[in-house]
Structure 1
């Protein structure tokens, strides 16, 4: 059976929809234990049991009342879900229908997991139940706006605790959006300053307030994250990573990666692919 990363929004009855739901039991049937990287969002809501998931090389516990959010492009692995019960919501980035929820899903600083506030659980459960019911329906109109509306209601109730610093800092927000678009070709702060019309110092001050990292540090972090994704999931060589990420040659990339992580790309890849050995 296909892994979750191979799933598409084309259910057996042929109706195309930007939102789907499934259970952790269904996920267990599809999960091959390897890393996955999808082009859609995955939110897991845990009702019972304990387990773990790894999202972009950070491990997160799965426990009753917790949620895990995997954004598009993130390398993730379901480490231990044999005893986990709950619901997964899969949706494309354009599925939410409100401005607030669109900003939530567009946030590049999504937190991997968090516990749902007890006061919100009743509302989250109600929104989820309605969404599951609608996505399971086979009648006409299910591929229209209703699932997206219900998804937005659920996202509004989930209130993931990410992006507070970015949301209150417009300069940092537009900087991060620009980095997300151009980090493969442009590694220097000056490019983003010129593109956005700010002084480099202004970008760094905004980045420091939001993250504790300079603008250059944020750029480096994004490049390193993508390099790790390519090394661990796509299993690219250092030479291929250098080409994809805009470095002039493999040697320059290797020095950059080692300075940022303390390891050469090949050594990091070996450790990531064989964490026990």
Structure 2
């Protein structure tokens, strides 16, 4: 894990395993994380998966703070703006991995999901299996380079993810129509803001698509698209410190004024005012 580039106190992190060995999975303890962490805000191009054994703390992911305690897990996907707020008393391990590291179909689907739950408590009945999967992954990480089987870290990571069973939040009751819609929005929300476009592109009637999205999320298809654009806009404003004009260019709006009206209608606040409120030490809206 290395730091590349600075925008105020918010850092862009890019994946690079220790020693440049080219592995897709890296592990560390919370002790090591504390040595590397200065309390600043980060945005990474890799996944961060943490398992907490004991202690109390918190992490902020995409402007929402989550408490951490005994037997909790954290998942920060690539692109999410996050900050370790209070980890002084935490024990456990952190796993860093590239999006292509998992090897099973089910775990790759979980990793590809754009809306994972950021933190959750591991049920007591699942904990022995989670702990065993984690210990096996950690043991493999200690093997001498000459003895490491390159496919094993991905296999053991997949086992850990499968045993953790990350909750899927709003997409938990996902149906195939919504899954296609969600993937399409994730790929094209910067260019297409209209629910009708996605219905047409996926071959559904607008009412059919809207019904599927509401069943899975409780929101309309339009609201889902708006929420995704707003999340990315907040990331750009907080992390990249872009102006309204810059956000408009990245997110497919005709001009800064058009984007500002959209952001105001969606959040009740103009982009500049929201950006001024978000500092490296206070990321909650």
Q: TM-score, normalised by structure 2?
A: 0.92
Match of 1:179 in 2: 185
Instruction: Give the aligned length.
Output: 275
Equivalent residue in structure 2 for 1:6, among 3, 9, 13: 13
Q: In structure 2, what is the Cα distance between the partners aligned to 1:49 and 1:196?
A: 47
Q: SS of 1:20's equivalent? A: strand
1:152 and 2:151 matched: no
Find the residue that maps to 1:6 and give its secondary structure: strand
Distance 1:215 1:141 in 2: 50
Structure 1 segments (4+ residues) deviating >2 Å:
1-10, 136-143, 163-168
1:27-75: CA deviations, max 9, x gaps?
A: 1111122211111111111111111000111110110110011011111
Give the CA deviation at 1:163. Answer: 5.5
1:16 counterpart = 2:27: no
Whether contact under 8 Å (1:238, 1:265) holds in the other structure is: yes
The equivalent of 1:66 in structure 2 is 72
Paired residues of 2:15 and 2:45 also in contact (CA < 8 A): no
SS at match of 1:109: coil
Counterpart contact for 1:16–1:143, Cα < 8 Å? no
CA–CA distance in structure 1, aligned partners of residues 180 and 32 of structure 2: 39
Please state if 1:44 is matched with 2:50: yes
Q: Return the structure number with greater strand share.
A: 2
Cα deviations across residues 153-179 of structure 1 (Å, max 9, x unaligned)?
111100111157456411011000000
Which consecutive unaligned segments of at least 5 residues does structure 1 have? none
Could you tell me how far 1:207 is from its partner in structure 2?
A: 0.8
Question: How far is the alpha carbon of 1:136 from its aligned partner?
Answer: 2.8
For the aligned residues, what is the CA RMSD?
1.8
1:120 matches 2:122: no
Which of 133-142 and 22-31 deviates more?
133-142
SS in 1 for 2:42: coil
Q: Distance in 1 between matches of 2:227 and 2:130?
A: 33
**Superposition pairs of residues 1-277 of structure 1, within 5 angstroms:** 2=2, 6=13, 8-12=15-19, 14-140=20-146, 142=148, 144-162=150-168, 165=171, 168-273=174-279, 275=282
Distance 2:237 2:114 in 1: 21
SS at structure 1 position matched to 2:225: helix
